[in-house]
Structure 1
Amino acid sequence: MPPIRTSRNKKPPPPGFEDLEDTFLEFHNKLKDAENAPHEGKKKHEMQWPIFQIHHQRSRYVYDLYYNKQAISRELYDWLLKNGYADGNLIAKWKKQGYEKLCCLRCIQTKETNFNATCICRVPRAQLKEDHTIQCVNCGCRGCASSD
């Protein structure tokens, strides 16, 4: 029998992670606070909204550092995606036209909706009635269409 591996071969972070470590620690603390927040009086899906929002902020932070500011290397970017500091699938959607402001991947999945359509937050505000306020059931977004 082969020996059992007790620890994975984790690579140390590439150079440049030390500068970002404090920011990711803040995101981690915000996430812990959101998970431990009281749930009384909230619906089941409303409890997850702060977690989705923090996850979005963290992924957007990495996206901006790599694609907009070119402040981090490709090696560090790949390491961050591999180790779960950002959502690679969400970032891949942000690079496509029409999805630049996408809030979460659940809003574009058509199989989870009643009418096989995207979420209401993806509808441009110009096509909605003026007094109609929208809020996504999945993540609490108030509109992430690219034309807004």
Structure 2
Amino acid sequence: MPKIKTSRVNYPDGWELMEPTLHDLDAKMRQAENDPHDGKRKCEALWPIFRIAHEKSRYVFDLYYKRQEISRELHEFCLEQGYADANLIAKWKKPGYERLCCLRCIQTRDHNFGSTCMCRVPKHLREENKVIECVHCGCTGCASGD
């Protein structure tokens, strides 16, 4: 006899700890998606969404890897349910990518000359008094050496 799928999700232990924060970030995400983008460039309309997605992933990453306050089971649950970006967290664990803002900034196919985004250039190698904003996510600098 086949298994019956239910719509109920079994939350792991410790979910009560992070649930309010994740729901607040979900509410911010919904608000950012519905905000009018009159007068903004097309790419600028997506920047708040990228920032909130980064914040959610960083929250789960910090709870598991930095503070060790949640279990492995809860961490994997958050990744499976889409509360955090598993690929972005995998990059944060590698040296040189600890402060990466989004995955689009390191994909060479999206940039001229097969390089990475300008926000990945360390501040000491940039021109002075020049503000750089990433076209993809609005990041002003996510190089690990900054």
Q: Fold conserved (TM > 0.5)?
A: yes
SS of corresponding position for 2:112 = coil
The runs of 5 or more residues in structure 1 that have no matched partner are: none
2:27 and 2:75 map into 1 onto residues whose CA distance is 22
Which string of whole-angstrom CA distances, capped at 9 and with x for unpartnered residues, describes residues 60-115 of structure 1? 00000000000000000000000000001000000000000000000000001121
Superposition CA RMSD, Å: 1.8
TM-score w.r.t. length of structure 1 = 0.93
Q: How many residues align?
A: 146
Which residue of 1 is the match for residue 70 of structure 2? 72
1:44 and 1:133 map into 2 onto residues whose CA distance is 20
1:84 and 1:11 map into 2 onto residues whose CA distance is 13
Which residue of 2 is the match for residue 58 of structure 1? 56
Which residue of 1 is the match for residue 96 of structure 2? 98
Which residue of 2 is the match for residue 114 of structure 1? 112
Which is worse superposed, 109-118 or 137-146?
Answer: 109-118
Task: State the identity %.
Answer: 56
In structure 1, what residue type is equivalent to 2:106?
I
2:73 and 2:132 map into 1 onto residues whose CA distance is 40
1:6 and 1:112 map into 2 onto residues whose CA distance is 43
TM-score w.r.t. length of structure 2 = 0.94
The runs of 5 or more residues in structure 2 that have no matched partner are: none
In structure 2, what residue type is equivalent to 1:77?
H
Give the direction of change, closer, same or farther, for the CA distance of 1:112–1:10 in structure 2 (3 Å limit): farther
State the 4+ residue runs in structure 1 displaced beyond 2 angstroms.
5-11
Which residue of 2 is the match for residue 84 of structure 1? 82
1:143 aligns with one of 129, 133, 141 = 141
